[in-house]
Amino acid sequence: MKLFGIILGFIGLHLLWGRKASVPYAAGLNLNGYLIFISVYLMDLLVLLILFWAYEKTFSLKLLAWIKEKVLSFQGRISRSKMVGWARPMGKASLFLMPAIPTAGRPFNILFLTLIFKLRYKESFFLFALGNLIGTIIWVAMIEGIITWAKILALLRH
């Protein structure tokens, strides 16, 4: 039961706050760094695929037209946000660079950038996957290093 709770907490943290919360949680519980990396990377890719699929399938149904209006109004607000202001001059490269920043680049942001820049899903997914790979490697290595150094310092004090 304890392992199930840890896994559920890890997935919940990742879905709510992304890798900036889930990686320190998992590393603090002494989970394997490679396991953390693989699970975080694959969860982000899976979430983006689900978002792309849901966006296409949901809005093709007539009954859910009011949801589309809400999302498009939200998309309009995002298109005026600082994130898009930062990404607009870079165009497609922003879909690679944003997830390469260790604490940024959530799949939800990539979905909206894909729609704003009118890119194909395959192209944006490929750019996100590459950037996410780099960002996840950096973040997991950094958190693992900080925790390792904290353990070393704690041992030296005793």
Percentage of the chain modeled with pLDDT above 90: 47
87 lies in a domain? yes
Domain count, the chain: 1
CA distances from 105 to 58, 94, 101 (A): 24, 9, 7
13 lies in a domain? no
Give the pLDDT confidence score for residue 22 in this predicted structure: 93
Reported confidence tier of residue 75, pLDDT bands at 50, 70, 90: low
132 lies in a domain? yes
22 lies in a domain? no
Reported confidence tier of residue 36, pLDDT bands at 50, 70, 90: very high
- Contact yes or no for 133/41 (Cβ under 8 A): yes
18 lies in a domain? no
Tell the residue number behind the tokens 């949680």, with chain if given: 25
89 lies in a domain? yes
Which residues contact residue 47 at a Cβ distance below 8 angstroms, ignoring those fewer than 6 apart?
Answer: 15, 107
Give the pLDDT confidence score for residue 25 in this predicted structure: 93
Tell me how far apart the alpha carbons of residues 23 and 28 are, in angstroms, rounded to a whole number: 8
Reported confidence tier of residue 63, pLDDT bands at 50, 70, 90: low
Global confidence as pTM: 0.82
Q: Which of 27-31, 69-73, 99-103, 144-148 has the lowest mean pLDDT?
A: 69-73
Give the pLDDT confidence score for residue 3 in this predicted structure: 84
| Mean predicted confidence (pLDDT) in 51-56 | 84
Give the pLDDT confidence score for residue 51 in this predicted structure: 87
Per-residue pLDDT for 24 more than 60? Answer: yes
Q: Which two tokens stand for residue 21?
A: 């919360």
Range of the domain at 50: 40-157
Higher-confidence position of 129 and 64: 129
Tell me how far apart the alpha carbons of residues 141 and 136 are, in angstroms, rounded to a whole number: 8
CA distances from 32 to 18, 28, 29, 63, 65 (A): 18, 10, 9, 45, 44
Radius of gyration of the chain (CA): 18
49 lies in a domain? yes
4 lies in a domain? no
